[in-house]
Amino acid sequence: MTGELSPADKAKSVAANRAAGYVEDGMRVGLGTGSTAAWLVKRLGERVRADGLRFRGVPTSTRTAAQARDVGIEVITLDEAGWLDLTIDGADEFDSDLTLIKGGGGAHLQEKIVARASDRMIVIADAAKEVETLGAFPLPVEVIPFGLKSTQKLIEEALVAMDVGGRTTALRMNGDAPFVTDEGNHIIDLHLQRIGDARQISTVLNQIPGVVENGLFIDMCDLVIVGHADSRVDLH
Ligand code: 5RP
């Protein structure tokens, strides 16, 4: 994370640095997962070390937990925190209602639990994440390993009745083996191209036995901070 940054990394770091300013002494803060969230954790570590900021962080993945500890952030579990003042996380897509697709990094289950247990959720992103219609980014669905194929079949059948632009699904792989989440589950990515009714799709998916959680975040995000490579910031 040093040296010459790509424009995308610069934009992510600009958004993350702005969001880090929302963290105050004494807060309990959910820490998201992904490359943008990693910039946030880095910046918060700098504030802890340089400015003496004192807050407790609840990471949304083992990756973020390891980074947070590395940079000197006090890490606690969500149960130890009880409730959170703020969660700051990245997103794969967001629209004008601040509905999100998350889970590109495979952490949306813990991310959603943490965001839902927060007074406020701030998303940090580069401009590429802003879309008119959600769905170009594949929608991740976390499923338990037991009965994986029948769960995938039920998801595909459910999509037939949905207002979407595409209906193919793919088990996410990590080399030759299925990707495994921090909760020991797998992820089926839904290539929908266009999501007509996010609320309906989210409800239907989560009613399928075997589905743990989908990557649509509805009515959860309060603010999106979009960073640009020239250091500008847009607030949505
Ligand atoms: C991980 C996520 C990430 O927030 C999302 O994939 C965005 O990642 P990045 O900041 O690397 O673009 O939901 O599960």
Tell me which residue has its CA closest to atom 7 in ligand 1.
91
- Cα-to-centroid distance, 30 and ligand 1 (Å): 14
- Cα-to-centroid distance, 16 and ligand 1 (Å): 13
CA 75-77-81 angle, 5° bins: 95
Prediction ipTM score: 0.99
Q: What is the pLDDT of residues 178-222, one digit of tens each?
A: 999 999 999 999 999 999 999 999 999 999 999 999 999 999 999
Question: 């980074």: which residue's tokens?
Answer: 67
CB 78 within 8 A of CB 113: yes
Q: 34 in ligand 1 pocket by Cβ < 6 Å?
A: yes
Instruction: Write down the pLDDT at residue 146.
Output: 98
Q: What is the pLDDT of residues 128-186, one digit of tens each?
A: 999 999 999 999 999 999 999 999 999 999 999 999 999 999 999 999 999 999 999 99
Q: 14 in ligand 1 pocket by Cβ < 6 Å?
A: no
From the CA of 108, give the closest atom in ligand 1: 14
Q: Is 215 annotated as a binding-site member?
A: no
Beta bridge partners of 140: 189
What is the set of active-site residues?
A: 111
Mean pLDDT of the chain: 97
DSSP string, 164-214: BS--EEEE-EETTEE---TTS-EEEEEE-S-BS-HHHHHHHHHTSTTEEEE
Q: Is 90 annotated as a binding-site member?
A: yes
Q: Residue 117 pLDDT > 90, yes or no?
A: yes
Instruction: Write down the pLDDT at residue 1.
Output: 55
Mean pLDDT for 116-121 is 98
Q: 103 in ligand 1 pocket by Cβ < 6 Å?
A: yes
Instruction: Write down the pLDDT at residue 32.
Output: 98
Beta bridge partners of 125: 226
For 181, list phi and psi in degrees, rounded to 5.
-80, 175
Instruction: Write down the pLDDT at residue 143.
Output: 98
Q: What is the spatial distance between Cα 166 and Cα 187, in angstroms, rounded to a whole number?
A: 18
Mean pLDDT for 99-103 is 98
Tell how far CA 58 is from the center of its chain: 14
